[in-house]
Amino acid sequence: MPYQSKSIVVELNLATTNKEPSQWVKVKLLFVRSINDEKQQASKHDWALFLTTDSQLNDEAMLETYALRWGIEVYFKEAKQKLGFLKEQSRHYSAYIASIHLTGLRFCLLLFAKQEEGAARLSDVRNGFEESLNCLNFASKLWGLFKALIAGALSEIVNFTEQDRLNVMEKIEQTVVEFFTQVMQMDSFTLRQEALE
CA distance 187 to 79: 31
Residue 26 burial (CB count, 10 A): 12
For residue 148, the model assigns a pLDDT of 81
Look at residue 138 in the predicted model and tell me its pLDDT.
Answer: 75
Q: In the prediction, which pLDDT does 195 show?
A: 47
Residue 197: the pLDDT is 46
pLDDT of residue 184: 60
In angstroms, the Cα distances linking 179 to 147, 167, 173, 183 are: 15, 18, 10, 6
CB 3 within 8 A of CB 34: yes
Q: Running along the chain, 197 residues long, what does each successive block of 10 average in pLDDT? A: 82 88 92 72 75 91 88 84 82 86 86 81 78 71 79 76 84 78 57 48
